[in-house]
Chain A
Amino acid sequence: MKLSLVRATAGIAACLVVAACTGGSPASSPDNSSQKGGSGPIKYLIETPEDAAALKALKKHIATFTQSSGIQVKVSTLPTDTMRTVLQTQLRSGEGPDVFSWGSGPGFGGALANAGLLYDLTDAYKKYHWNVYDWARQRVTFNGKTYGIPGETETVGLFYNKKIFNRLGIDQPASLDDLAAAAKKAKAAGLVPLAVSDKEGWEGGHLLSMALSSAVGPAGMKALLDGHKSWNSPKVTSSLALWDDYNKAGYLPNSPTSVDYDGATAMFYSGKAAMIPTGSWLVGEIDDNTNFPVGYIPFPAAHGPGVFAGGLGSGPFISANSNKKGEDLQFLNFLASPQHGRWTVENLHTIPPQPIDTHGLHVSPLFAKVLKDTAHLSQSGTGLGYNIDVLSTDVFNEAMFDGVQAVLTGQQSPEEVASKLQDASQQ
C-alpha cells in the first residue's frame, strides 16, 4: 500500500512535469477537426470595448444572426493586454474561443498563423465572395494564405476644432508650416495647440506613423516596413524630431508622457485644445462629446497636405482547433456581410474594410466625410500611408513606443531612437 501510494504520487508528479515541459500542440491541419460541429454555442472572444453600450448592442445584433441561422453564439470579452497574454495558450489548449477578434499585423494574426493556430480562410473567400478591399485582405494574408477578415479600417490623422480655427482666423493646415503657424496662434490664445498624450506609450506609434507617412508617402512607408529602406534615415529622424520640436515649443500639453489618452481627448472635447492627432476610431466619441464642428485632415507633410496613415483594427479569425468550423464560417459570413458593415457604421461608428452603400445611414457629417475619404483612398489603393504598430513585430513596437517617449522626455535623441528602430526591425 505504502509503495503503491508513493509510486502513484511520483507518477502523477512525473506526468505533470512532462506535460508542462512539452505543452499541448495545435491541430496540425484544419481537417483534423470535425466540420459537422461540436456541441454548444460558438465561443466568440472579443477585446473589451471601451463603451459597455457597444457590447450590449453587438450582442443584440448577433442575436439576429442566431435567429436567422439557428446557430448560438456566446460572446465573451477580455481586456486587450490580458488577451495578449492568454490567447495563445487558450488556442493551443483547444479550450479557447472558436472565433476571436484580433489584430492583423505580423505580431498579432501573423504570429498565430505561423504557429498553425488559425484556420485558413482562402477557400472561404472564394466560396462566400467576401468583398474586402485588396490592401486590407493583404494584411490578413500570411505566406500566401488568408486567415482573417479585416474588422475595420482605421486612419490616423488630425482632428481640429473648427470653431477655434474660425475664431482665431486659422485656415485648415495644408503643410507643416501651416500647422506650426496654427499651433503658435492657438498657444498665444492660451490653448493647448495639439492635445498629444503619450503616457501609455502606444500613442507614440501613431505620432510617428502620421508624421512619417506624410513625410515619405505610402511607397516610402512600404519600403521601410518591408525592410527595403533603413529606419536609421533622415526622414525617420526628422519625423521624430518634429514632435520633440513641438514639445519644446510648447505646442503639446505640459509633459505629454504624463498625459493619458483620455486626458488628451478630454482636453479636446472641452475646447481647451485646438487639435488632436489620433485615429478615426474617435469619431463616434467626438460626435457624442463635442458641441462644435470638427474637421479631420491628414497630418500635413513638409510641402503639402500629407496622407492619412491607414491600418486595420481587430477582425475575426477562426481557431484551427475549433470543432465547429461549419458554423464558424457561417458566422464569419455574417460578420463580413454588407449588412453587418452598415450596422457597424451606424452603431459602432467604425469603418468597414469593404465598399458600403451609405445611403440612408444615420451618421454625423464628420463621420460621413471620414467614410467617404476612406472609401475613396481604399479603392484607389495608393493614397493611404501606414499605421506602423499594426504591421510591426512586438519588438519593433516596443522600441517605437519607448523611443517616442524617450524623445519627448529628452532621454534619447531622435538619431538614437532611429538607430534603435533599425536594430529592432532586424530582430
Chain B
Amino acid sequence: VIYHGPEQPPTSAPAPSPAAAPAPRRSLRSSWRAIESDAPPVTRKAQARLGLLLTAPLVLMVTVFLLFPMLNAVYYVFVDFNGINPNPPWVGLSNFAELVQDSRVWAALKNNVIWIVIGTVSPLVIGLALALLVWGIRRGSVLYRVAFFLPYVLPQVAVGVVWGWIYEPSRGWLNKALEVLGLGGLTTGWLGNPSTALYAVLGTAVWASAGFVFVIFLSALRNVDLDLVDASRLDGANGGQRLRYVILPQIMPVFLMVTTITLLGGFSVFDIIFVMTGGGPAGATDVLGTYAYSRAFQLSQISYGTTLALVITVLAVPFAVWLNRLQRRLSLQGTGA
C-alpha cells in the first residue's frame, strides 16, 4: 500500500524503513483510501453500495428507535409540553430547576437508592446461596431450577396482584400466618403502611428475581474448575475461603454481569411498584420511575416527566459503563468461568 496523502508529499525525504521507526499513524480517512486502492474502481463502488445497502436497515432502525426518541426527549426537556399543546413554550432549564427543588424527587431518589442496594444485594446473596446448595445435587436439580426460576418468568403484573392479596391486612395469609404463630403484634397493612410498604414490594421483587440470579450462577458454577476446589480443600481452606478465593474469582464476570442487570433494574424499576402500590400511600413508595410516570401521564406534565426519565438514564449510565468495563477487563485477564 503506497500512501500519497497531501500531508506527506511524495517528494519528501525517503521514509525510514518500518523496522527503523514506527509506521506513521494514519487517519481513518487515509486508511479508507488505502483499503479502497486495493480493488479496481468498479469493485470498490459495488462494495460501497453493498455496504450501504446492508447497513441501511440498521441505520434506519437506530435512527427511528434510538436516535430520534432520544433527540425528541432532549427537546421535550427544554419546553413545557402538556400533551395537548402542539407548540409548547420554550422554558430552557426550568424543568431542571424545578426538579432540584422538588422534595418528592429526593424522596423518590432515596427510595431508588434503597431499592438499588437491597434489590441488588438480596437476589445476589439468595441466588448464589441457592446455586451453591443445588450445585452438588445430581438428582432433581431440574426440579429445583424450574421451581426457583418460575417466579422470574411470571408476568410482573400477576406477581404484584397475587402478592397484593398475600399482604392484604384482613384476608391475606401473611397476617393470618403471623397470628397463627403468635406474632399477631407484627400484623399490619403491609402495603398501606408507609413504614413497610416499600420493603413489602421489595420483598416481592427479590422473590421474583432471585430465581434468575440462581439459574445464571448455577450455570456459571458448572464451569468452575473442580480440581482447584479440591486442591484448596486439601490445603485446608474452609467453605467460606473456598468461595472467596477459589469459586468467586472464577465466576466473577458472570457475577458482575448479574450485578449489572439487577443494579440497573433498580434505577428503572417501575412496574411492580406501580401494580402493588401505585407509589402510595401518599408517595411513600414512589421511585423516580413511578414519579416520572405520575407527572407525565397523570398530571399531563410530559416535559417534567421526560426530564425525570432523562435523569434516571444519566444516573444509571456511569454504573453500567463501569461494571461493563470491569467485567470485560476480568474476562480479558482470563478470570472467568
Q: In the complex, A12→B45 CA distance in Å? A: 24
**Among candidates B56, B86, B170, B191, residue contacting A24 with C-beta atoms closer than 8 Å:** B86
What residues on A are CB-neighbors of B190 within 8 Å? 258
Q: A259-B192, A405-B280 are in contact. List 14 more A-B contacts (CB 8 A).
A: A16-B64, A17-B72, A21-B72, A84-B298, A85-B297, A198-B192, A201-B280, A254-B169, A254-B170, A257-B192, A258-B189, A260-B164, A394-B298, A403-B282
Given A20-B68, A92-B86, A258-B189: A412 touches B298 (CB 8 Å cut-off): no
Given A13-B68, A394-B299, A394-B300: A259 touches B83 (CB 8 Å cut-off): no
Cβ contacts B127-155/A at 8 Å (1 or 0 each): 00000000000000000000000000000
Which residue of chain B has the shortest Cβ distance to A87 in the bound complex? B83
CB distance from A171 to the nearest CB of B (A): 28
The answer on a CB contact under 8 Å between A259 and B189 is yes
**Among candidates A9, A253, A406, residue contacting B63 with C-beta atoms closer than 8 Å:** A9
What residues on B are CB-neighbors of A5 within 8 Å? 52-53, 56
Chain B contacts to A: CB under 8 angstroms = 45, 48-49, 52-53, 56, 59-60, 63-64, 67-68, 71-72, 75, 83-87, 164, 167-171, 187-194, 277-278, 280-284, 294, 297-300
Q: Could you pull out 28 A-B pairs where Cβ atoms are within 8 angstroms?
A: A6-B52, A9-B59, A12-B60, A16-B64, A16-B68, A17-B71, A20-B68, A20-B75, A21-B75, A22-B87, A88-B83, A92-B84, A92-B86, A201-B278, A201-B280, A201-B281, A255-B193, A256-B192, A258-B189, A259-B169, A259-B170, A267-B170, A394-B299, A394-B300, A403-B282, A409-B193, A409-B282, A411-B284
What residues on A are CB-neighbors of B86 within 8 Å? 22-26, 92
The answer on a CB contact under 8 Å between A408 and B281 is yes
Which residue of chain B has the shortest Cβ distance to A255 in the bound complex? B189
Which residue of chain A has the shortest Cβ distance to B63 in the bound complex? A13
Q: Which of A383-422 contact B (CB under 8 A)?
A: 394-395, 398, 402-403, 405-406, 408-409, 411-412
Cβ contacts A70-101/B at 8 Å (1 or 0 each): 00000000000000110011001000000000
In the complex, whether A359 has a CB less than 8 A from a CB of chain B is no
Which residue of chain B has the shortest Cβ distance to A199 in the bound complex? B192
**Among candidates B87, B168, B297, residue contacting A263 with C-beta atoms closer than 8 Å:** B168
The answer on a CB contact under 8 Å between B299 and A398 is yes
Q: Which of A210-264 contact B (CB under 8 A)?
A: 253-260, 263
The answer on a CB contact under 8 Å between A406 and B281 is yes
In the complex, whether A200 has a CB less than 8 A from a CB of chain B is yes
The answer on a CB contact under 8 Å between B282 and A255 is no
CB distance from B75 to the nearest CB of A (A): 5
The answer on a CB contact under 8 Å between A200 and B278 is yes
- Chain B, interface SS category: loop
Which residue of chain A has the shortest Cβ distance to B87 in the bound complex? A22
In the complex, whether A111 has a CB less than 8 A from a CB of chain B is yes
What residues on B are CB-neighbors of A398 within 8 Å? 294, 298-299
The answer on a CB contact under 8 Å between B56 and A263 is no
Q: In the complex, A255→B171 CA distance in Å? A: 12
CB distance from B177 to the nearest CB of A (A): 16
CB distance from A312 to the nearest CB of B (A): 20
The answer on a CB contact under 8 Å between B280 and A257 is yes
Q: In the complex, A255→B297 CA distance in Å? A: 28
**Among candidates B53, B68, B193, B300, residue contacting A17 with C-beta atoms closer than 8 Å:** B68
Cβ contacts A369-384/B at 8 Å (1 or 0 each): 0000000000000000
What residues on B are CB-neighbors of A201 within 8 Å? 278, 280-281
CB distance from A95 to the nearest CB of B (A): 15
Q: In the complex, A9→B75 CA distance in Å? A: 21
In the complex, whether A117 has a CB less than 8 A from a CB of chain B is yes
Which A-B residue pairs are the 9 nearest by beta carbons? A255-B189, A258-B189, A258-B192, A257-B192, A406-B282, A115-B84, A405-B282, A257-B281, A405-B281
CB distance from A416 to the nearest CB of B (A): 11
Q: In the complex, A199→B59 CA distance in Å? A: 46
In the complex, whether A2 has a CB less than 8 A from a CB of chain B is yes
Q: In the complex, A258→B53 CA distance in Å? A: 58
The answer on a CB contact under 8 Å between B192 and A255 is yes
Given A2-B52, A398-B294: A258 touches B168 (CB 8 Å cut-off): yes
In the complex, whether A52 has a CB less than 8 A from a CB of chain B is no
Which residue of chain B has the shortest Cβ distance to A192 in the bound complex? B170
Given A13-B68, A394-B299, A395-B299: A409 touches B59 (CB 8 Å cut-off): no
The answer on a CB contact under 8 Å between B171 and A263 is yes
Q: Which of A25-46 contact B (CB under 8 A)?
A: 25-26
Q: In the complex, A421→B48 CA distance in Å? A: 65
CB distance from A85 to the nearest CB of B (A): 4
Q: In the complex, A201→B286 CA distance in Å? A: 14
Cβ contacts A185-207/B at 8 Å (1 or 0 each): 00000000000001111000000
The answer on a CB contact under 8 Å between A258 and B191 is yes
Q: In the complex, A394→B294 CA distance in Å? A: 10
**Among candidates B49, B56, B168, B281, residue contacting A9 with C-beta atoms closer than 8 Å:** B56
Cβ contacts A116-141/B at 8 Å (1 or 0 each): 01000000000000000000000000
The answer on a CB contact under 8 Å between A89 and B189 is no
Q: In the complex, A117→B85 CA distance in Å? A: 11
Q: In the complex, A155→B187 CA distance in Å? A: 36
Q: In the complex, A257→B200 CA distance in Å? A: 14
The answer on a CB contact under 8 Å between B52 and A255 is no
What residues on A are CB-neighbors of B294 within 8 Å? 398
The answer on a CB contact under 8 Å between B72 and A409 is no
CB distance from A404 to the nearest CB of B (A): 8
Q: In the complex, A257→B278 CA distance in Å? A: 12
The answer on a CB contact under 8 Å between B278 and A253 is no
The answer on a CB contact under 8 Å between B193 and A402 is no
Interface centre among B190, B192, B278, B280 (most CB of A within 10 A): B192
Which residue of chain B has the shortest Cβ distance to A427 in the bound complex? B299
What residues on B are CB-neighbors of A394 within 8 Å? 298-300
Q: In the complex, A221→B84 CA distance in Å? A: 30
What residues on A are CB-neighbors of B277 within 8 Å? 199
What residues on B are CB-neighbors of A12 within 8 Å? 60, 63
The answer on a CB contact under 8 Å between A402 and B49 is no
Q: In the complex, A406→B85 CA distance in Å? A: 33
Q: In the complex, A112→B284 CA distance in Å? A: 31
What residues on B are CB-neighbors of A403 within 8 Å? 282
What residues on A are CB-neighbors of B171 within 8 Å? 263
Q: Which of A262-317 contact B (CB under 8 A)?
A: 263, 267
What residues on B are CB-neighbors of A257 within 8 Å? 189, 192-193, 280-281
CB distance from A273 to the nearest CB of B (A): 11
Q: In the complex, A403→B283 CA distance in Å? A: 10
Given A258-B192, A259-B189, A395-B299: A1 touches B49 (CB 8 Å cut-off): yes
What residues on B are CB-neighbors of A117 within 8 Å? 84
What residues on A are CB-neighbors of B68 within 8 Å? 13, 16-17, 20
Q: In the complex, A408→B169 CA distance in Å? A: 15
Which residue of chain B has the shortest Cβ distance to A13 in the bound complex? B63
What residues on A are CB-neighbors of B87 within 8 Å? 22
CB distance from B130 to the nearest CB of A (A): 31
